[in-house]
Amino acid sequence: MATYSLPNQTTPCIRWFVPVTDTRGTFDIIQTCVPVLLFCFWTVQHPDVGKDGQSTHFGKLYLACLTIFAPEVAFVQAVDVFIKARHMHHVCPKWSMDECFYAAMHGFTLEGKERLAWEDIVVLVEKGYIGQERTNLAQIRDKSKSDWIVKLLAIAQTSSFIWDCITRVRHRLPLSTLELGTIGYVVIAFAVCLIYLRKPQDVATTIPIHLLHGIPYQHATQVISDRRGVQRKDPEKVTSSPLLEGPTRVPLSAIPPARGRYGLTHWELLFARTSGIAMGVQFGIWHCLAWNHSFPTAAEQQLWHVCALLSIVLLPLWVVGIAARPYIKGAATWYKVLLGLDLFICVFARGFLLVEMFIGLRCLSLEMYETM
């Protein structure tokens, strides 16, 4: 362990690992932040219902990676699902929010055959094909693997971490880049956790919805096809297409989301995207709080400055670009290339900030190790 001063900085710094003594050491900072980051990246994730009984771990891993590099996009997805669940609750007031979230997760099937989107259920309810009196709450909670004890422990540890950071700031003691970055993730993670409070977690199987007595299955599937704008054949008499080399059925994931009466309105979409952009901007600004921190090298400090600024601008710009793409007539390849380049640079910037949060611990100022 050596003490030295960086160029252009008068505060002495300690290089490499600092053991735990009367003050806090490097390991103290790591063991405080890593469990909180795991809560942000993994515990708060609520993936959609798995397909054909498949595990939801891949969906959860995807959401965890999305939260690491683009936490505001994960927040937008959470807001989007919540709005869909509220729509369902408005149409089916006797359904609980757990059931409405389950519908937004593609957790229901029609007679155990057809996977239903939440818009499909709204149409079937309004047409009188299925009833509003549902008793799936106990079944959904039984399928959900949400562990409230684990969540409460994670929230308690995260709250303790936030309080320790507030206490250090009150005593005019600096926070490391790892602590500052962790707080940035915590803000979004807590927002997502509150939105998903009633959403089932880690569900791998679906629940069938049965039609009311006397309603043919083919009539219900035709109503669903009309809603999706797809000409679908009778499932029992479906033929193969030589071009598709299989049934002429269109998967649920290929159906564009509905708008208006049976889907999200433009104002709701605007709200979801605007809130996501606001989250992304605050996430980038939060990293700028470490602008004058001591870094191991001048190059790392400059890269932190550049990546923090890019983090503020690029991903919100990408969200706006995606939203504007349908309104750009004849969106050429160059437009897609620009969006892809924007996303690539943003992922690089976010990745560097996360890596630097850890490798920057090899050189911290003496004040970082002081305790109250």
What are residue 4's DSSP bridge partners? 13
- Of 307, 286, 258, the closest CA to residue 72 belongs to 286
pLDDT at position 7 is: 43
Residue 253: predicted pLDDT: 44
Which tokens is 353 given? Answer: 């900030």
Each residue's pLDDT tens digit in the chain (372 positions)?
444 444 445 455 666 677 666 678 788 888 889 989 988 888 888 888 866 555 567 778 888 888 888 888 888 889 889 988 888 888 888 888 888 898 888 888 888 888 888 888 888 888 888 877 766 777 777 666 666 777 788 888 899 999 999 998 998 888 889 999 999 999 999 899 889 888 888 777 788 888 888 888 888 888 888 877 753 443 333 333 332 233 334 444 444 444 444 456 677 777 877 888 888 888 888 889 888 888 888 899 999 999 999 988 887 788 778 777 777 766 677 788 888 898 899 889 999 999 999 988 887 777 777 776
Q: How far apart are CA 305 and CA 343, in angstroms?
A: 19
CA angle 53, 57, 61 (to 5 degrees): 145
pLDDT digits (tens, 9 = 90+) for 162-212: 999 999 899 888 888 999 999 999 999 989 988 988 888 877 778 888 888
The amino acid occupying position 247 is P
pTM listed for this prediction: 0.77
Output Rg (C-alpha) for the chain, integer angstroms. 25
- DSSP structural state of residue 264: B
What is the predicted pLDDT for the residue at 182?
Answer: 93
- Residue 349 has what pLDDT? 92
| DSSP assignment string, 245-307 | TEESPPPGGGSPPPBGGGSB-HHHHHHHHHHHHHHHHHHHHHHHTTTT---SSHHHHHHHHHH
What pLDDT shows up at residue 308?
92
Pairing type for strands 207-209 and 108-110 reads parallel
- Please give the pLDDT value at position 163: 92
- Whose tokens are 């005019």? That residue is 172
- Output the six-digit token pair for 119: 């818009």
Which residues have a Cβ under 8 Å from the Cβ of 143 and sit 6 or more positions away?
A: 200, 203, 204, 205, 207
